[in-house]
Chains A and B, each alone.
Chain A
């Protein structure tokens, strides 16, 4: 990879990020949204790790005869970020399971429709001028 033109990695990472981001904001299925979110985050990791690469470097583990190491700091940051990512996904999935039990659906617009119907039934309409969407 190291011989490639300088910004190529970043651009692909950007493209992947946006693919994930697109899934998050365009898809109505909550599970798919979470997949998108993970995709988005994973691509940000690529962006970070690319930053730490040094040409002709080696993995930052002390070894005989190696003088050029890649930067360990982005690696550490991304280890943390991976954990954050999986943690978020887990919480999101638990929420999806509960939403599915409460609404019988994991599609955003169906949930919205059921809330609105419930509002009408109880007359508890908040009368909100806007429809929340993610």
Chain B
């Protein structure tokens, strides 16, 4: 049982070289699928265990922390790990047909290897208890995602990937500088150890600078406004599977890293009270919500539209953290979960459309309601969740976020959050109108509905959007538990 903590990462990680050795598309897909589902199962068991028995610590190499590296899974990590693995498991089901169509045949095995490396890297970030090890996992997932994004068919995938590489590497280097400064002041890299030793030295300029560099570095990875410029193009031009997977997981893991460093390692007292991060996050979150939503309204490429919407959604999460209250942080963590459900569903559905029709601009989307009824219906439901219409998961997120702002009397913020929802209504509805009110393009060939291997994951996520809009024992329960642990009852 204990070993699951390491296997959840090692299995997908080591499946990547296996894929390369197999070098055939079908076996590589199968390997990825099995690895992803194994990790998902492991993540479920781990989360059950840590939520019942408390954090699980696993010393790698048998060296106890802080001398060795340890994995440390607590409810927060387990929760995000569950999101990552669940999305991976579904995306792998979806991937088979989509990848065969979008990726040159002789590179499919390596493509799956890259996908697995992205996945393993993200999973590793959520379980590791060592700050530097987090950096290593971050780089594994980042490098693999640069490659995966660049496999998009449009040449802009290349420039988008390069842009992401530069900004991502700057971010990672900032994180490295930040970790270095913390290490300089404490002599340790272990997160728990850091959290214990930092308060003694927290009143130093070095720690403050380290804090700033870590936050900015994570902000870059998180695509926190105004550091989000890499995201829209990367998501818009990456292959469908990659977009769906990254959109549903990568920024979530960055939010996790932000929570872990800001609230746990530095502590609420330091981060949000001694440093003015709370107000900064609220402010940037709001700007992200408004600018992301506004720009999304004017997009014609649907993947770009949803990518800008992601910028806005990240704003919601960051805003929640910035509220620095139990409710706010609950909302942020909850939205990490719910946003993964909605964006996963939406991007996968768009991938299914792309699989049948080719491109996914508003023009191609005309008449889609008749051409691909099930896929389009999934997009509509996912869109409703994005807007926050009850009874979808998005509604629950909005509820807690608005509750968090109202608790602190931030009326204007609450209204702007809801205004963001209305902007979402506008861009989602542009899509709905195109799908149901415009006739299909005259030259449109008759197409069959997307294959079952695509519809099943899409609708699983759609169903999850509704389920977690009604029954929130798990999603809200865990989120609020984590928030209590992080912020403390008083906040």
Contact = CB atoms under 8 A, between A and B. Distances in A.
Nearest to B155: A102
Contacts of A134: 162-163, 166-167, 229-230
B256 to A, nearest CB: 21
Given A44-B176, A115-B159, A128-B304, A91 B165 contact: yes
Interface in B340-369: 361
A110 to B, nearest CB: 11
B171 to A, nearest CB: 12
Contacts of A41: 169, 173
Interface residues of A, number: 40
A88 B300 contact: no
B180 interface: yes
A108 B131 CA distance: 34
A59 interface: no
B146 A95 contact: yes
A132 B176 contact: no
A83 B366 CA distance: 49
A127 interface: yes
Contacts of A74: 183
A126 interface: yes
A92 B161 CA distance: 9
B392 interface: no
Contact of A125 (B183, B294, B300): B300
Interface string B215-232: 000000000000001101
Given A21-B170, A51-B180, A91-B147, A126 B299 contact: yes
B173 to A, nearest CB: 6
Contacts of A21: 170
A16 interface: no
Contact of B139 (A30, A87, A115): A87
A102 B172 CA distance: 28
B155 A130 contact: no
Contact of B158 (A77, A87, A88, A102): A102
Contact of B232 (A47, A98, A132, A133): A132
Contacts of B159: 99, 103, 111, 115
B184 interface: yes
B289 to A, nearest CB: 15
Contact of B143 (A44, A80, A91, A103): A91
Contact of B361 (A92, A96, A124): A124
B100 interface: no
A92 B304 CA distance: 24
Interface in A76-134: 77, 80-81, 84, 87-88, 91-92, 95-96, 98-99, 102-103, 111, 115, 124-130, 132-134
A127 B161 contact: no
B295 A84 contact: no
Interface string B167-192: 10110110011001001100001000
B15 interface: no
A126 B449 CA distance: 27
A124 to B, nearest CB: 6
B173 A44 contact: yes
Given A87-B139, A102-B155, A115-B156, A48 B180 contact: yes
Contacts of B475: none
B165 A84 contact: no
B136 A84 contact: yes
A41 B173 CA distance: 7
Given A126-B300, A133-B229, A103 B147 contact: no
Contacts of B236: 126
Given A128-B299, A129-B295, 12 more contacts: A30-B162, A40-B173, A88-B169, A95-B162, A95-B165, A99-B158, A126-B299, A126-B301, A128-B298, A132-B163, A134-B167, A134-B229
List the 4 shortest-distance A-B pairs measured between CB atoms, nearest first. A102-B155, A134-B166, A127-B298, A95-B162
Interface of A: 17, 21, 24, 30, 33, 37, 40-41, 44, 47-48, 51, 73-74, 77, 80-81, 84, 87-88, 91-92, 95-96, 98-99, 102-103, 111, 115, 124-130, 132-134
22 contacts: A17-B177, A33-B166, A40-B170, A44-B177, A44-B180, A77-B189, A87-B139, A92-B166, A95-B158, A98-B150, A99-B158, A111-B159, A115-B159, A124-B300, A126-B301, A126-B304, A127-B300, A128-B298, A130-B229, A132-B229, A134-B162, A134-B163
